[in-house]
A and B are shown apart, each in its own frame.
Chain A
């Protein structure tokens, strides 16, 4: 045991930089996964099976294959097709796409849970389609699924270190760079590991209290 607090202090500037990148990826990834998830969920309910079937196939495929391999796929294969993104953009896209297949299932369950009477009432009031969705169905569905979406944001947070694999300067990558520069292997990685617990645990308490209040 030889813990060195000085090494922790030296690591802090990099730590804050990394945390900022991690949170940026998390926020943008969440926004992307929430929007894309809703698109998939609406695709599940499409009237034509030529829309439903491909949406099911694509989301199932993305959901059952590893995020890391998807990251490499986007990072290495897209440039071959002539599409060039920065590592961070690729990482955010990959994480958003991967988690959108989870949020799609959450949306689906939330929309299915809206009582049939609500749909009938909207029809009886002859609301146009978009108003039925925007003012009747989605507000009720979103309230129910907010905690589940929150859980996926936490899961996404814990998957952001994978972006170190394509050299995005998030927390894990910063700790590796620090170790490589100072030969201090114990402190940076431990600080990052503890930071994840310290962020994830209060966040999960928040989601739990949300669950009690909304559901």
Chain B
């Protein structure tokens, strides 16, 4: 492999993968916390809608959703998404639905008395969520979110099928250019492995930090 292939394709590809990861993780987190808390809402209708969202987006395949947003939405509604945005939207919506289940589980795992104490102190529902429930629920969610983030990283490789120039797409181009697959695909797999390693390590640190804030000491 020549230096030109590295500089023009592989390195920008890694950067695009990271951008995709960060943007869709941000969107996914927004979706997860909104839908996840909606699933613990007192109104039945809100719970039902949030449940419907989770089942539909967890039920379908991320790749099909991506293709759908990219190929079906334009003729259906008349506007076209840039491939990068279609990818971010599909990944964020899909993995957000998985995240919503984590948020719901985390909130439900907070002892019931905490909620009651919040009511007794006449906190508003929003204050109760922000000051009482989430600070206790979030540290418990972190290991699951760490796994989901690695899943999301692996999901970003799907965008290469839409022609977004991420590192998998770069690998495809390099393969065509050099007629040689072994090296570039090994390198690509290693790139993903290293990014995943960084994610798991930093999430471990984050878990320790958030637990320390609660006064729980971990080794």
Which residues of chain A have a CB within 8 Å of any CB of chain B? 1-2, 61, 64-70, 72-73, 76-77, 80, 158-162, 164-165, 172, 176, 179, 185-186, 189-190, 192-193, 196-197, 200-201, 204
The residues in B between 184 and 215 inclusive whose CB is less than 8 angstroms from any CB of A are 185-186, 188-189, 192-193, 196-197, 200
**Interface residues of B, Cβ cutoff 8 Å to A:** 55-56, 58-65, 67-68, 71-72, 75-77, 150, 153-158, 160-161, 168, 171-172, 175, 180-182, 185-186, 188-189, 192-193, 196-197, 200
The interface residues of chain B lying within 8 Å CB-to-CB of A200 are 58-60
State whether A64 touches B192 (Cβ < 8 A): yes
Chain B min CB distance to A87 (Å): 15
Chain B residues with CB below 8 A from A190, complex form:
68, 72
Q: Are A162 and B158 in contact (CB under 8 A)?
A: yes
Residues of chain A within 8 A (CB-CB) of B75 are: 2, 185-186
Instruction: Tell me the interface secondary structure of chain A in the complex.
Output: helix
Tell whether, in the assembled complex, residue A197 and residue B60 are in contact, meaning their CB atoms are under 8 Å apart. Answer: yes
Most chain B CB inside 10 Å of its own CB: which residue of A64, A67, A185, A196: A64
Chain A residue nearest to B185 (CB atoms) is: A73
Q: List 15 A-B contacts (CB under 8 A).
A: A61-B193, A65-B193, A66-B154, A66-B156, A66-B168, A69-B171, A76-B185, A162-B158, A164-B63, A186-B75, A189-B64, A193-B65, A197-B59, A204-B55, A204-B58
Contact between chains at A72 and B154 (CB < 8 Å): no
Q: Which of B55, B65, B157, B185 contacts A77 (CB 8 A)?
A: B185
Q: Which residue of A lies closest to B181 (CB)?
A: A76
B71, A64: Cβ atoms closer than 8 Å: no
Q: How far is the CB of B22 from chain A (nearest CB, A)?
A: 17
- On whether the beta carbons of A179 and B63 are closer than 8 Å, the reply is no
Q: How far is the CB of B18 from chain A (nearest CB, A)?
A: 14
Partner of A69, one of B64, B65, B192: B192
CB-nearest residue of chain A to B189: A65
Could you say which residues of chain A place their CB within 8 Å of the CB of B189? 61, 65, 69-70, 73
Main SS at interface, chain B: helix
Contact present for A193 and B60 (CB under 8 Å): yes
- Other than the known A66-B192, A185-B71, A186-B75, what 14 A-B pairs have Cβ atoms closer than 8 Å? A67-B154, A67-B157, A69-B157, A72-B181, A73-B186, A76-B185, A80-B182, A158-B61, A160-B61, A164-B63, A172-B64, A189-B64, A193-B65, A197-B59
CA distance A159 to B71 in the complex (A): 19
Cα–Cα distance between A178 and B103 once the two chains are bound (Å): 40
Across the interface, which residues of B come within 8 angstroms of A189, CB to CB?
A: 64, 67-68, 71-72
Asked if A162 and B63 make an inter-chain contact with CB atoms under 8 angstroms apart, the answer reads yes
| Cα A196 to Cα B204 with chains together (Å) | 35
A165–B89 CA distance with the chains assembled, in angstroms: 21
Q: Which 4 A-B pairs have the closest CB atoms?
A: A66-B157, A76-B181, A64-B196, A197-B59
Minimal beta-carbon separation of A116 from chain B (angstroms): 24
Contact B171–A196 (Cβ < 8 Å): no
Smallest Cβ distance from B21 to chain A, in angstroms? Answer: 12
Q: Decide if A179 touches B68 in the complex (CB within 8 Å).
A: no
Could you say which residues of chain B place their CB within 8 Å of the CB of A67? 154, 157
Asked, given contacts A72-B168, A186-B76, whether A65 binds B175 with beta carbons under 8 Å apart, the answer is no
Q: Are B150 and A161 in contact (CB under 8 A)?
A: no
Docked CA distance A196–B172 (Å): 28
Question: With the chains together, A136 CA to B216 CA distance in Å?
Answer: 39
Contacts A64-B154, A186-B72 hold; do A72 and B62 have CB atoms under 8 A apart?
no
Report whether B185 and A159 are in contact in the complex, using a CB–CB cutoff of 8 Å.
Answer: no
* Given A193-B68, A197-B56, residue A72 in contact with residue B185 (CB < 8 A): yes
